[in-house]
């Protein structure tokens, strides 16, 4: 396998049919990190055909669940064996810190183990009482078929695992298309699946652009399900392309997430420090390139100035640099395009009346920050309102906007005033109020007095334009299964509806 043979079809690593290649850049210095194959429609069709054969004729869909779960556990062990290598790949490819890369590998490992345990621990089917001892009626699960998986650039390996693990343990075959910006860890994952003993044709990979690869996967008549994680515009196109064939569609499309802080959460020094620390974590981890980022701070007016002043002071101290360097807390943006978008959002916010409290520009170069890297300072914009683009749209950069409220009702109204509905948080020392507000938030995940933890056992999804379908948890497994009702008459007899 040469460096550019990154397309995996029917058990063979190969170059693109066209011979096209793409350079993958290190966002810390804009230098070439790797060269990968640039797949097209011909490669995609070949991958789908391989997955179709493996599902219709191969052993995997008929392999006992216990054996499929055992393979997932082997993959989990291999992930831990290669933990440092994968973490370094993820750090250099996405720009995140090496420690974040390690956490990602551990989370991916946990996802594989969770879905293995979940599927292996299920009963053979749900028995239905048919009202007769002569009838055995049961609802069983079956794999959907050929699954197309389109993953994003911010958490390439983690998002792949949320799709690959449940799809495999359910007995499906698949074609995965990672983001063309960050494909390297997905290539490594497919190698581990092969090493773990996955039958030929079950796992197929096409590296290439969303158009044509992702577009072809979404429309392909031999694909039974398409799972997409990414932006709203692209997700809408995926749904439209999938509609004519009425295939199953799962979309996770991002968010514009409120972090609501009541004054009583800041009544003690410890409470104040924790709320500020978590507001930084919510907004600036992975340079804000997180679908669940708490990019909207909604703070009670009575503590606004004190809170924002301390937030800005600490944001200015965040150590920005190459993610593999010791002591670095925040890496670069993933691409020049993302840097340009971030600069444009800040400029529009200032033109619309926002007050810049910190950041708002690229940092000075240093030993850990090459001048050619896509770095941008953590930015806090105060005095924001809902008419601003930076407040309405998903920025996916190190930008935190600040809005304020005076009453609980106003806080709920502001938090829900978004076309998205992915995640959010409520901070209050009053448990009853915190739970009351959380219950009223129209968001798929709501944290109380915390931000960003997730559990593999809990479903992940959103309301509104944050998408449809669920990942993780039992619902995440069900996304990749169909149900069948098997009605068995143990003592069949003529119906005698008609003469004869």
Catalytic residue positions?
A: 252, 291
> Can you tell me whether residue 4 is helix, strand or coil?
coil
- Residues 424, 258 contacting (CB under 8 angstroms): yes
Per this entry, what is the length of the chain?
500
Number of alpha carbons in the 13 Å side-chain half-sphere of residue 178: 33
Question: What is the rounded CA–CA span in Å between residue 102 and residue 111?
Answer: 14
- CA 307, CA 302: separation in Å to the nearest integer? 10
- Compute CA distances 21 → 16, 37, 208, whole Å: 8, 4, 9
Q: In 196-268, which ranges are continuous DSSP H helix?
A: 215-219, 232-242
Helices 156-169, 184-195: axis angle to 10 degrees equals 30
Query: In DSSP terms, which residues pair with 405 in a beta bridge?
Result: 300
> CA 461 → CA 149, 225, 273, 291, 464, distances in Å?
16, 17, 30, 11, 10
User: Which of 283, 304, 318, 316 has its CA nearest to residue 399?
Assistant: 283
CA–CA separation, 164 and 189 (whole Å): 10
User: In this structure, are strands 173-177 and 203-205 parallel, antiparallel, or unpaired?
Assistant: parallel
Sign of CA dihedral 388, 392, 395, 398: positive
Pair type for strands 31-37 and 21-26 = antiparallel
d(CA 271, CA 262): 11
Residues 90 and 84: their CA atoms lie apart, in Å, by 10
Looking at residue 160, what DSSP letter applies?
H
CB atoms < 10 A from the CB of 364, how many? 9
């Amino acid at each position: 396998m040469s460096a550019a043979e990154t397309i995996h079809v029917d058990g063979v690593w190969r170059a693109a049919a066209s011979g096209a290649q793409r350079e993958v850049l290190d966002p810390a210095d804009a230098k070439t990190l790797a060269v990968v194959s640039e797949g097209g429609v011909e490669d995609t069709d070949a991958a789908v055909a391989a997955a179709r054969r493996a599902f219709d004729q191969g052993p995997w869909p008929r392999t006992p669940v216990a054996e499929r779960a055992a393979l997932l556990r082997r993959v989990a062990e291999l992930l831990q064996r290669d933990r440092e290598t994968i973490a370094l790949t993820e750090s250099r490819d996405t720009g995140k810190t090496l420690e974040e890369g390690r956490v990602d590998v551990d989370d991916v490992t946990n996802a594989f183990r969770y879905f293995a345990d979940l599927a292996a621990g299920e009963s053979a089917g749900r028995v239905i009482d048919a009202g007769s001892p002569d009838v055995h009626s049961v609802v069983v699960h079956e794999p959907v078929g050929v699954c197309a998986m389109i993953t994003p650039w911010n958490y390439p390996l983690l998002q792949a695992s949320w799709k690959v693990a449940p799809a495999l343990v359910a007995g499906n075959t698949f074609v995965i298309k990672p983001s063309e910006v960050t494909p390297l860890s997905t290539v490594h994952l497919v190698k581990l699946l092969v090493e773990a003993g996955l039958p030929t044709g079950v796992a197929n990979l096409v590296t290439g652009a969303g158009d044509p690869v992702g577009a072809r996967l979404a429309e392909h008549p031999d694909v039974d399900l398409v799972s997409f994680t990414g932006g709203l515009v692209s997700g809408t196109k995926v749904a439209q392309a999938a509609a004519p064939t009425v295939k199953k569609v799962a979309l996770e499309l991002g968010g514009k997430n409120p972090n609501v802080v009541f004054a009583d959460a800041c009544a003690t020094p410890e409470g104040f420090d924790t709320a500020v620390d978590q507001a930084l974590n919510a907004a600036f981890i992975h340079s804000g390139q997180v679908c669940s980022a708490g990019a909207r701070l909604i703070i009670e007016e009575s503590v606004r100035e004190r809170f924002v002043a301390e937030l800005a002071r600490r944001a200015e101290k965040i150590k920005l640099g190459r993610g593999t360097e010791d002591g670095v807390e925040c890496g670069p943006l993933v691409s020049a395009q993302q840097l340009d978008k971030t600069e444009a959002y800040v400029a529009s916010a200032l033109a619309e009346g926002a007050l810049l409290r910190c950041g708002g520009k690229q940092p000075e170069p240093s030993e850990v920050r090459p001048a050619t890297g896509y770095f941008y300072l953590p930015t806090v914009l105060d005095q924001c309102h809902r008419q601003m683009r930076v407040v309405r749209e998903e920025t996916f950069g190190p930008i935190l906007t600040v809005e304020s409220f005076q009453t609980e009702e106003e806080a709920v109204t502001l938090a829900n005033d978004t076309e998205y509905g992915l995640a959010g948080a409520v901070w209050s020392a009053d448990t009853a109020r915190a739970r009351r507000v959380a219950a009223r938030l129209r968001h798929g995940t709501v944290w109380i007095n915390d931000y960003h933890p997730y559990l593999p056992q809990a479903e992940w999804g959103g309301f509104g334009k944050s998408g449809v379908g669920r990942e993780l948890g039992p619902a995440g497994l069900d996304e990749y299964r169909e149900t069948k009702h098997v009605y068995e008459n143990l003592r069949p007899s003529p119906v005698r509806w008609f003469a004869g």
